[in-house]
Structure 1
Amino acid sequence: MDKLVFLDSVARIAVFVSLLLALFLLTVKTENKLANRLFACFIIFSAIDFSGLLDFSFPKEYLYVVLLKSTFCLLEMPLIYLYVLAVCYSDFRLKWKHLIYTSPFVVMNLVLMPRFYLKSSIENQQFLANFSTTFEGYFFQILIECQYWFYIVSIFLILKKYKKIYLENYANPSTSTYKWLFQMNCVFIVMHSITASKNLLRYTASRDTFLWGNVLMVVMALSVICWFVMKALNHPELFRGINSKLKLTKDILPEIEEKKPPVTVEDDSVSEQIQTLKQYMTEKEPFLDPSLTIQELANQIDIPVRDLSILINHKMDQHFFDFVNEYRIQKAMHILKDESKSQLTVLEILYEVGFNSKSSFNSSFKKYTNLTPTAYRNAS
């Protein structure tokens, strides 16, 4: 099959599937509609990007559309960045200030204005033929690279903060949202590296090699988009974000330094609070609730959530996540050693003590005992 025909066929499939998936995301019923819509917009812009590989020629009077739709790729990473925010934070909303993320797209089209948009169709045709070697072409490539890596790093920073806030405020051992978004960002790095390498072939290799590079890129991009959407659909818990107004303990501490009581008084108060907290955890066993949060625990023991966060995450030097899981593991160890409960399976035990994932239970259990639950039961 002719390479151009094959590339056109693959591109048409990619465009069709992308638009179909985008339509599904826009119409499917879900709690986090904003995240779905942002991801759908990303897929739509990706489809527009793929359409540049179709064997289709625009009429001369509409040649401006060719470069205009090429610049749409500058809107893809901002959409992914906003998508990550929408997934991580349940209270995230789009605001007018977010239009700042369209700046690269606007700047690029302003740069193209003098020598392209304001010229005749004949001049546009000549400009497009040599675009890759023009100042505008080089500027476009540099802008794409700078923007891409800016958002890649920004997303990793968001995920780093998200994970810390999650561990300090939530006891649910599922970190699937973090893993999913982290994997997604890593895949974007790989895909961009492949795309950048393919673009270099334009200057260093034959036209045939460059065309096959385009084919490989579109096939991989289509596979990745399908994987992203199927992953999200099969794991609805990925859209259970946290509240963006939650603060890290290290950010809260400076705010109360001025109100700090004398050291001896503070030490006595802290010791008493820790003792009260441990006693409550042992007697009432709130950790059995798999969805326990630091806010709920604070309400139960009548301590301001701000003080409880500092008590656990700073004074006791533990994340709330680890603090709660320690009690869950101790409860599980007691059940595993109890001969009268030997009929219970490991799966039944993990649900009984507040876990909701076998992998999370096994990893947490091994962290505290250096043994798997089964090995611990056999050794008891």
Structure 2
Amino acid sequence: MAGARNAGDARLRAVAELARAVAAARTPMEAVIAAAQHARTALGGSMSAISRWERDQGRLRVLVNDGELAGDEEPLPAEETYSIADFPEIVEFLRGEWTENGEPRAWVETADGPSERRGAYCHQRVAALRRRGRSSCIVAPIMLHGLAWGELYVARAAGRPVFDRADEEFATVLAALIAAGIAQTERLAEVRRLAFTDPLTGLANRRAVDARLDEAVDRHREEGAAVSLVVCDLNGLKRVNDELGHAVGDRLLVGFGSVLSLCGAALPGSLAARLGGDEFCLLAVGHPAEDVVRAAEELCVRAQWLGLGDGVAVGVASTDAEIGPVTSSRRLFRLADAAQYRAKALRAVVPVVAGRAGAADPVVRLADEAPPAPPRKGERRRFRGSS
């Protein structure tokens, strides 16, 4: 009696630990990794895995393997997938065996052969158990929003007791907890995505740039990493809106956003963003200034190919150029903005680069001027970050 009570207490603790670990995850993948580890421990398994059902591909993709792994298993596999044709039970589950809550129940397979309840369905799982030296496995469908999201798989090594009916019931509970945790992290990820994404172009927004730029400048101060900012002002948007309508103007913005993303791809790890209205930027860390300038030059050329608007005014500021010390993101923004402002004033068809003219560079002088007075209503502020 005491032994059963102790076992029950241990499982309650395991449930609480799994719930805490999954709740602390910041991303769906972090939740999956934590869930696999804690589910394996809770069920006394030697290894565990969590797979996702990719419906459009008709396959299970293994996201994580945890514990004592076989030679053909990796902790975070890049391409471990299995055709649903070999595992039809994920579609039919337990031939109608459901819990009282309407969730599909977990089931056990052993290396001795497919269970009576599963018939020949699980011959692939049985073969895998034998090949990898395991005695049994337990499979629990993970359900999200009434659909099969994937599965929890926990196995025991050869010589260990096989899983039993009580383990099936416990695994069903664990799978439900995992599903709740994944759903929560997916919702949080979507909230973060919306908070840091421009809804029209799909690029990052100003909030994302501010956060990333602050981190980049800190890295520049601590490690000397080059930080470059390309600020763009799309010319002719107002004329397009007035003459052709806002739907066409939106198409111009989306098209330019795609061009910006394309040019930013030449700078791996860069962030393409729409700051608002007709203003965009590209943030690059760890790239030489000349590479950033080349990407900006390509941007100017491709902007002319859009067939709408009047090209783009582009300013570039980089800590890898002669612009003086950059100790804050505000200064780098002011320098890039001043360069873009000068490009617009000159109607330049190439980028204006802060510091290119050395100590007497007019862009650097412009950026270092006393901050202008706040703009009157309807006027465009000349420099972001000037107040």
User: Structure 1 length as normaliser, TM-score?
Assistant: 0.24
Question: Which structure: greater helix fraction?
Answer: 1
Q: Give the structure-2-normalised TM-score.
A: 0.23
Q: Which of the pair has more CA radius of gyration?
A: 2
- More strand, by proportion: 2
Higher relative contact order, structure no. (Cα contacts within 8 Å, ≥ 6 residues apart): 1
